[in-house]
Amino acid sequence: DQQVKQNSPSLSVQEGRISILNCDYTNSMFDYFLWYKKYPAEGPTFLISISSIKDKNEDGRFTVFLNKSAKHLSLHIVPSQPGDSAVYFCAARSNTPLVFGKGTRLSVIA
C-alpha cells in the first residue's frame, strides 16, 4: 500500500521553462511534506517543505503547493536549469519516519 505516490517516473523540460513535479498521498494524518533532490551515488538533499496548515511555500526558484482536499502537492521549479536534472522525491510525515514516493527523474534539456 503506497501512501505517497509519484505517478510520473520521468519528466523532460526545456531549460528556462517551468518544471512541475506532482505527488499524491492517501494518509490524511500527514502533517508535513518535503521534497528531496537526489543525484546518482549521493544521498537525498533537502529542498523545500510545507506544513499541512499552509498551501504554499516559496524558496527562490522552488515553490511547493499543497491541496489538502485533493491530497495533492506539487513542486514548481522556475526557471529550470540543467543542474536541476536529478531524481526528485516527495516525502510525507505523520510521526517521525518519512514516507517516500518512488521519485520522478527530471531532465532539463539545454
Q: Which residues bind other proteins (CB under 8 A)?
A: 4, 31-32, 34, 36, 41-46, 49, 51, 89, 91, 95-103
- In angstroms, rounded to a whole number, what is the distance separating the alpha carbons of residues 31 and 41? 30
* Closest separation in Å from C-beta 15 to other proteins: 26
Q: Calculate ∠ Cα 88-32-4, nearest 5°.
A: 50
Bond into 9 cis (ω within 30): no
Nearer to other proteins, 28 or 45 (CB): 45
* Closest separation in Å from C-beta 44 to other proteins: 5
* Closest separation in Å from C-beta 17 to other proteins: 26
**Angstrom distances, CA of residue 16 to CA of 29, 46, 77, 83:** 36, 22, 10, 12
Nearer to other proteins, 49 or 81 (CB): 49
Q: Calculate ∠ Cα 82-48-36, nearest 5°.
A: 65
Nearer to other proteins, 65 or 79 (CB): 65
Nearer to other proteins, 79 or 105 (CB): 105
- In angstroms, rounded to a whole number, what is the distance separating the alpha carbons of residues 95 and 103? 21
* Closest separation in Å from C-beta 97 to other proteins: 4
